[in-house]
Amino acid sequence: MSLVATEATRFNAVVKYEQEASVGICRDVVTAYEGSSTSYPVGTVLGRTFVSTSVTATAGTNTGNGAIGTVTATGKAQRGTYTIRIIKAASNAGDFTVSDPSGAVIGNGTVAVAYSNQIAFTLADGATDFVVGDSWTVEVVGDYKYKKVEATATDGSSIARAIYISANDGSFSTSTIAATTDTSVIALVRGAAIVGKETLTYGASIDTTAEKTKMYSELEAIGIICRSQIGSFPVVA
């Protein structure tokens, strides 16, 4: 059997259903990045980390005159605008919430205490105390990079975000990701799609039933359904 035929067989074993595959609505070209040379056979589950290029904090029209220190984006950050808002005022202190670019509250913090969840900073107290409603926006610019999902990763790539399906040439072949080199590959990043559980590969640290179940659930959250046995399904009238 030829290499092309073998790789096509591998793809068909992994991807059992893909909505409108001919136009690729479930696929994106993504940037893979690994610390060491890593092989991606078709069906490799990928996590994602974020690499920021700029992070800019802007104060609202605030009553309090404390300053926000340098803001950094962690590997778990998202592109877009975060909002920091004072929710409880106190003398020389106060509490705040942090909302991500979707508007969801991702954490609570305290003035003068270091905060870290997706973004990291310390909001310093000033001569004039903050009042409820004082706020800041944080604009995060950068790129997502994908790597083989690992349960032990701390840079955001412990969450399953995609499944590798092809080199960027559309050959549905195994890719070798050179160490510390941005490499464009094609991945399933959304559904509707169905894949075979037993055909997936992932990092060595995902070695328990609980970790695998978590990975399948994360894929299903983006519309990629993981099934143990793919057979015929009844047609519902």
Structural domain boundaries, residue 190: 3-49+143-227
Find the length of the chain.
237
What single letter denotes the amino acid at residue 183?
T
| Residue 119 falls inside a structural domain | yes
Residue 233 pLDDT > 80, yes or no? Answer: no
In a domain, 150, yes or no: yes
- Looking at the fold, whether 156 and 133 belong to one and the same domain comes out as no
Which tokens sit at 40? 């991606």
Report the predicted TM-score, pTM, of the whole model to 2 decimal places.
0.82
Confidence of residue 235 (pLDDT cuts 50, 70, 90): very low
User: Per-residue pLDDT tens for 54-109?
Assistant: 999 999 999 999 999 999 999 999 999 999 999 999 999 999 999 999 999 999 99
The per-residue pLDDT for range 135-146, each reduced to its tens digit, is: 999 999 999 999
Cis peptide before 192 (omega within 30 of 0): yes
Closest-CA residue to 15 (of 146, 189, 147, 157): 189
- Hey, what are 29's tokens? 């070209």
Asked if residue 235 belongs to a domain, the reply is no
Average pLDDT over residues 162-172: 93
71 is written with which tokens?
Answer: 């803001």
- Domain for residue 233, yes or no? no
Domain count, the chain: 2
Do 88 and 201 fall within a single domain? no
| DSSP bridge pairs for 135 | 85
Q: Give the model's confidence band at 232: pLDDT under 50 very low, under 70 low, under 90 confident, else very high.
A: very low
Confidence at residue 27, expressed as pLDDT on a 0 to 100 scale: 96
> What whole-number distance in Å separates Cα of residue 126 and Cα of residue 118?
25
Which CATH number fits the domain that encloses residue 42? 2.40.300.10
Q: Are residues 60 and 42 in the same domain?
A: no
Q: Are residues 152 and 45 part of one domain?
A: yes
Question: Based on the domain organization, do 189 and 123 belong to the same domain?
Answer: no
C-alpha–C-alpha distance, residues 8 and 2, integer Å: 10
Encode pLDDT of 10-55 as tens digits.
Answer: 788 899 999 998 888 999 999 999 999 999 999 999 999 999 999 9
Q: Are residues 134 and 80 in the same domain?
A: yes
Number of Cβ within a 10 Å radius of residue 208: 10
Structural domain contains residue 236: no
CATH number at residue 129: 2.60.40
Task: Among 142, 168, 202, give the residue marking a domain's end.
Answer: 142
* Domain presence at residue 237: no
Mean pLDDT of 143-156: 96
232 domain-assigned: no
Q: Do 124 and 188 have their domain in common?
A: no
Query: Could you report the per-residue pLDDT of 180-227, keeping only the tens digit for each?
Result: 999 999 999 999 999 999 999 999 999 999 999 999 999 999 999 999
